[in-house]
Amino acid sequence: MVLAPARGARVPRREQPERRSRRDGDAAAAAVGVLLPAASLLQLQDVKKSCCDFLETQLHPVNCLGFRAFADMHACTDLLNKANTYAEQHFTEVVLCEEFLNLDVEQVCSLISSDKLTIASEEKVFEAVIAWVNHDKDVRQELMARLMEHVRLPLLSREYLVQRVEEELLVKNSSACKDYLIEAMKYHLLPLEQRALMKTTRTRLRTPACLPKLMVVVGGQAPKAIRSVECYDFKEERWHQVAELPSRRCRAGVVYMSGLVFAVGGFNGSLRVRTVDSYDPVKDQWTSVASMQDRRSTLGAAVLNGLLYAVGGFDGSTGMLYAVGGYDGASRQCLSTVECYNYSSNEWSYVAEMGTRRSGAGVGVLNNLLYAVGGHDGPLVRKSVEVYDPTINTWKQVADMNMCRRNAGVCAVNGLLYVVGGDDGSCNLATVEYYNPTTDKWTVVSSCMSTGRSYAGVTVIDKPL
């Protein structure tokens, strides 16, 4: 039997499922909030853990800061860490909620000083500070300087600094805040290569743990030097074309540093070059920066202690040794020797040799182990791979790649070692494969680059939000 509502009776509106779920979850969380302190007092550890496990499932931008304080009060370490991480990863939504506006200044400073904030821009942090102060302006405006110490103003664009920060009355009314603004302006006046030397907390990029990654493949030879740049989205498992290099470039060193991709030296099809270009993935734009002192192609490039190093290479007349294997222009032979640079002593020294001679090998680091991938010895192009353990100064063989490759790009991400393109001795390759050290197996990526290329530079970056 179906009962109809009485005439004039009010039929309740059907709630949206997500709203009903949120309401039910809040009610359950409130009940757990009563149970957990009792379990803690009575030392009922299993009950306490069950309560914390449930609260972890209920984390939301509107409650994570409250859960964090609750966990801290009752010594629930795991819940405290989970709530804190959740707040960092959902910072943009969290700062719009009432809980954030009701934090005390120490709690706000603790949150905005974290390196792990997931934000598209430092603008989000500045705007959050202004909103928090304006929520109780008469009391909080004198706290602006304490808060601005943790806002990384140098990471904001010059336009935003001039048009928004400088015009903010809360900044204008604080001499300390104006000092932070001047520091940021000075930072923007420095050449790119000098910014790395200006090391303060406010110039350090935030490094959120959860940002998706992109693999950037820069230039290369196909069969001549090209300007093309492609990005592989690991989550989407597909390739995207991005802004081209300002000029043709292959055999360049490529690194990711301070939020920018640097393409260092290389060969433009006619000449070895000493020019350096930087790519901003947020703006999808390349900019020329200061050149090196020497022309170098087929060089190694690396970042160490905030400085960019260009290692070895070929200037068109002089053959220099690679750090791992390579080719000796004087004796005209491929090398198995390996050299290590000590930053403290500013010296190079030999370490254990590889098992085979390799020129044009791909080199990458995964789990603190150094991999030498493919390469060639005379006409023989290799698909073999060796790995070096610096703790015991030894090399060992691991599984062969699926394809012979030399002059390929190599990078490590998500516990896997990726090898990109290269050539097999007869043609340039558009394929990519990755090595899983747990299974000692290589797998070919289903999606190929649009262009077969060797001598491309490869690096991994955070995907712009």
Say whether both 117 and 255 belong to one domain.
no
Least confident range from 150-164, 210-224, 332-346: namely: 332-346
Confidence class for position 327, pLDDT limits 50, 70, 90: low
- Domain assignment present for residue 430? The answer is yes
Least confident range from 30-34, 152-156, 357-361: namely: 30-34
Say whether both 154 and 234 belong to one domain.
no
Residue 343 has pLDDT above 90, yes or no: no
Query: Which of 222-231, 310-319, 346-355 holds the top average pLDDT?
Result: 222-231
Least confident range from 45-49, 299-303, 380-384, 401-405: namely: 45-49
- Domain assignment present for residue 2? The answer is no
Q: What pLDDT does residue 29 have?
A: 58
Q: What pLDDT does residue 385 have?
A: 97
CA–CA dist 121, 281 (Å, integer): 13
Cβ atoms 311, 260 nearer than 8 A: no
Q: What pLDDT does residue 173 have?
A: 93
Q: How many domains does the chain have?
A: 2
Q: What pLDDT does residue 317 have?
A: 63
Q: What pLDDT does residue 26 have?
A: 57
Q: What CATH number is attached to the domain comprising 227? A: 2.120.10.80
Single residue among 168, 196, 224 that ends a domain in this structure: 196
Helices (H) and strands (E) in the chain, counts: 14, 23
Phi-psi region of 312 (alpha: psi -120 to 50; beta: other; left: phi over 0): left
- Domain assignment present for residue 207? The answer is no
CA–CA dist 73, 289 (Å, integer): 51
Strands (E), 155-222: 213-218
CA–CA dist 85, 69 (Å, integer): 13
With pLDDT > 70 as the criterion, what percentage of the chain qualifies?
Answer: 85
HEC profile of 77-95:
HHHHHHHHHHHHHCHHHHC
- Domain assignment present for residue 238? The answer is yes
Q: In what helix (H) or strand (E) does residue 215 lie, and over which residues does it extend?
A: strand 213-218
CA–CA dist 464, 120 (Å, integer): 7
Burial degree of 262 (CB within 10 A; 0-12, 13-18, 19+): buried
Least confident range from 137-151, 201-215, 360-374, 388-402: namely: 201-215
When pLDDT is averaged across residues 439-444 and rounded to a whole number, the result is 97
When pLDDT is averaged across residues 99-126 and rounded to a whole number, the result is 93
- Domain assignment present for residue 208? The answer is no
Cβ atoms 170, 135 nearer than 8 A: no
Residue 384 or 190, more confident: 384
Cβ atoms 325, 359 nearer than 8 A: yes
When pLDDT is averaged across residues 218-235 and rounded to a whole number, the result is 95
Nearest of 301, 259, 258 to residue 276 by alpha carbon? 301
Q: Could you tell me the maximum CA-CA distance found in the chain, to the nearest angstrom?
A: 102
CA–CA dist 366, 44 (Å, integer): 43
Residue type, 410: V
Single residue among 141, 171, 196 that ends a domain in this structure: 196
Q: What pLDDT does residue 9 have?
A: 36
Q: In what helix (H) or strand (E) does residue 148 lie, and over which residues does it extend?
A: helix 144-148
Residue 28 has pLDDT above 90, yes or no: no
Residue 392 has pLDDT above 90, yes or no: yes
Q: What pLDDT does residue 286 have?
A: 97
Write out the two tokens for 247: 């000029």
DSSP 8-class letter at 176: H
Q: What pLDDT does residue 42 have?
A: 52
Residue 51 or 76, more confident: 76
Residue 104 has pLDDT above 60, yes or no: yes
Cα–Cα separations (whole angstroms), residue 435 to 264, 295, 401, 420, 455: 27, 34, 8, 12, 20
Say whether both 273 and 376 belong to one domain.
yes
Say whether both 228 and 374 belong to one domain.
yes
Residue in the block written with tokens 């001795």? 425
Phi-psi region of 60 (alpha: psi -120 to 50; beta: other; left: phi over 0): beta
Least confident range from 7-21, 279-293, 388-402: namely: 7-21
Nearest of 283, 211, 287 to residue 242 by alpha carbon? 283
Residue in the block written with tokens 């690396």? 302
Cα–Cα separations (whole angstroms), residue 125 to 105, 109, 132: 14, 11, 11
Q: How far apart are the first and last CA of the chain?
A: 55
Write out the two tokens for 269: 């099809």
Say whether both 405 and 278 belong to one domain.
yes
Single residue among 163, 196, 229 that ends a domain in this structure: 196
Residue 219 has pLDDT above 70, yes or no: yes
Q: What pLDDT does residue 11 have?
A: 33
Say whether both 150 and 261 belong to one domain.
no
Q: What CATH number is attached to the domain comprising 77? A: 1.25.40.420
Say whether both 176 and 314 belong to one domain.
no
Write out the two tokens for 229: 């740049």
Predicted structure pTM score: 0.64
Cβ atoms 113, 84 nearer than 8 A: no
Residue type, 312: G
Write out the two tokens for 313: 């290479």
Say whether both 221 and 159 belong to one domain.
no
Q: What pLDDT does residue 304 have?
A: 74
- Domain assignment present for residue 87? The answer is yes
Residue 110, Cβ neighbours under 10 Å: how many?
Answer: 14
Q: What pLDDT does residue 185 have?
A: 94
Say whether both 291 and 404 belong to one domain.
yes
Q: What pLDDT does residue 36 have?
A: 58
When pLDDT is averaged across residues 263-285 and rounded to a whole number, the result is 93
Write out the two tokens for 261: 């991709």
Residue 396 or 306, more confident: 396
DSSP 8-class letter at 18: H
Say whether both 342 and 301 belong to one domain.
yes
Say whether both 85 and 230 belong to one domain.
no
Chain center to CA of 283: 16
Residue type, 209: A
Say whether both 51 and 135 belong to one domain.
yes
| Residues of the domain holding 260 | 213-462
- Domain assignment present for residue 205? The answer is no
- Domain assignment present for residue 15? The answer is no
With pLDDT > 90 as the criterion, what percentage of the chain qualifies?
Answer: 58
Mean pLDDT, rounded, of the chain: 85
